[in-house]
Structure 1
């Protein structure tokens, strides 16, 4: 009937273009034919799906219970959003499987369908789901606890070199959304999930931007109107010039906040157009940590800026710091320039 939409329909489009349709019944997805919703065969299948009774011990039923539980609802909203999408996929792929009979091997087979990074994130969901199943006495163990993720050599987010930074600035002048997003990320060293929400409202009378990180819950403090180090002044002024004067530092050309994925994609695409390959938004976070290390900042000082909570994390991020700059300093007026005594002489 015109203007009437069927309830509980879920449409999944695979990368190859194949479309799968389902009706959600009591926490489980029942397959439907890939036909228009007003097609007689589709309507017949939809009605018959209403009589479907999911297995009481099915993974789909367990996922439905988990989504309605306090265990799920007390997690961060960003976590809930990501997990809800992945749990819906798990319902589609494995919803009919008996949850009490799942083994570590079954879960590892599911994880092998994903790249290593995504598999590690998915394993976290499986572990939480199976822990919930154990707490609800569906199982006596957690088969996801010992599930292993295949290890492949992966390229981490590479830090940007000074040449990369200048090439980007040349390609994207002030006034473009790309330059605004770049300078905010470059100066603050914030993750995209934090960069999309930080702004002038978080800057205190001391000139420091203070915010709680979404990923870790830890605090980060970044000098905004305060001068942290004269050798960083150029980058700070570039940031001040580029940042939106509105409450948030990063906004679209329509004055709206960017999504986390949108910001990441914007930087990656802009870098490619500037002739830079393999440069990402998260790589700018490494760049800031390395720049501070080359100024001979202590790990604790770097951690206060970037929000890293352990010295080991900071060591990993600053491993690529220029060793010559660490010993002799760098007098280019941007990064480096520390005064140290070397072989009886004062070098600056």
Structure 2
């Protein structure tokens, strides 16, 4: 067995069975027990890289991936096969799985264009913008899923225009999805942004010292995504010496979100007083701050479900964990944070997202300043 992964070593026990270990200087050796090549193995490896415990996702059984069969050169199914084999293989396991399922759906569509041949068996070079629009519209009842179809088709053809096939020519000469418009989302504003009244209502229901209150405090005073809150722990804390000679407790974490995790800059942030007080109540034996009732770290999905329960208990069925992050951005912008500051605080790679919040805050301040002009 050969694994081209950093810090991975393989040895054999006395019975000849191969054992896989993660070995990094300055850290204890970790045995990786999941099946090599599986989604769980790559998740376990990523956890080892980040220095956090691996916890199997408690999600329900995955849907079966439809069999694509052996692709014929030149068909849409063939292009999908090449793209998945040569490009998507380097992406996160969950991303690969999602794309496999979406492409399998598309390959089986027959009510597209003329004839009833499945899309997967048609020549991809003949695919038109109209065909892509029909593929999108087939999923119109779920706009986000429909737009995702367009996105992955566009990404695949964009890749094909830069890479060669067996004839040493570029796999594609055009991108039929390049100019296909997105459908309007059912909820254009995304997750509901918590109001200060809703935060107070949650706090009234869940007192200081409860796990729910600790979760809210971490979300509220770090601005982290749920994927990072699930692993947030003592390994992310450190003390920094300030220019005036005083020391400050801070946290540093690399945000993890899909395939862009490697490119994301670290979030380096001071531990604010409300958070420091909440963390002081966590047992010193807990490396990860939020643990399940069985004493194990939450999976991302598990923490999301738990937040759903806590919000429901507080009479906030429309609120979610991500809405707290949005509230953090709104509060920060209205308190005068600049786009650059928001970008650093929330780990965004550009100021595009930050600008939405600062411009909204500016409009609110400007309207407030001009409101008296309505009076006679």
Fold shared by both chains (TM-score > 0.5): yes
Q: State the distance in 1 between where 2:64 and 2:339 align.
A: 52
Deviation at 1:165, TM superposition (A): 0.9
Q: State the distance in 1 between where 2:292 and 2:282 align.
A: 13
Q: State the distance in 2 between where 1:260 and 1:123 align.
A: 27
Note the 1:268-283 alignment, pairs <5 A: 268-283=308-323
User: Is the counterpart of residue 221 in structure 1 residue 268 in structure 2?
Assistant: yes
User: What is the CA RMSD across the aligned residues, in angstroms?
Assistant: 3.5
User: Is the counterpart of residue 208 in structure 1 residue 250 in structure 2?
Assistant: yes
User: What residue is the counterpart of 1:340 in the other structure?
Assistant: none
User: Is the counterpart of residue 160 in structure 1 residue 176 in structure 2?
Assistant: no
Q: State the distance in 1 between where 2:284 and 2:359 align.
A: 33
SS in 2 for 1:158: coil
Deviation at 1:118, TM superposition (A): 3.3
Q: Name stretches of at least 5 consecutive residues in structure 1 with no aligned partner.
A: 1-19, 30-52, 228-232, 329-348
SS in 2 for 1:57: coil
Q: State the distance in 2 between where 1:83 and 1:240 align.
A: 43
Deviation at 1:143, TM superposition (A): 0.9
Q: State the distance in 2 between where 1:54 and 1:313 align.
A: 41
| 1:182-230 superposed Cα distances (whole Å, 9 cap, x missing partner) | 3322221112232223322122222221122234512212222xx4xxx
User: What residue is the counterpart of 2:179 in the other structure?
Assistant: 146
User: What residue is the counterpart of 1:98 in the other structure?
Assistant: 123
User: What residue is the counterpart of 2:96 in the other structure?
Assistant: 80
User: What residue is the counterpart of 1:59 in the other structure?
Assistant: 76
TM-score (norm 2): 0.62
Q: State the distance in 2 between where 1:190 and 1:243 align.
A: 22
Aligned residues: 275
SS in 2 for 1:208: strand
CA contact (8 A) 1:177 1:253 kept: no
Deviation at 1:162, TM superposition (A): 1.7
Q: Name stretches of at least 5 consecutive residues in structure 2 with no aligned partner.
A: 1-62, 110-118, 241-248, 370-376
Q: State the distance in 2 between where 1:204 and 1:297 align.
A: 24
CA contact (8 A) 2:147 2:182 kept: yes
SS in 2 for 1:221: strand
SS in 2 for 1:186: helix
Deviation at 1:141, TM superposition (A): 0.8
User: What residue is the counterpart of 1:130 in the other structure?
Assistant: 157
| 1:4-45 superposed Cα distances (whole Å, 9 cap, x missing partner) | xxxxxxxxxxxxxxxx98873xxx25xxxxxxxxxxxxxxxx
Q: Do the aligned partners of residues 270 and 111 (structure 1) sit closer, same or farther apart at CA in structure 2, a change above 3 Å counting?
A: farther
Structure 1 stretches (4+) deviating beyond 6 angstroms?
A: 20-23
TM-score (norm 1): 0.66
User: What residue is the counterpart of 2:39 in the other structure?
Assistant: none
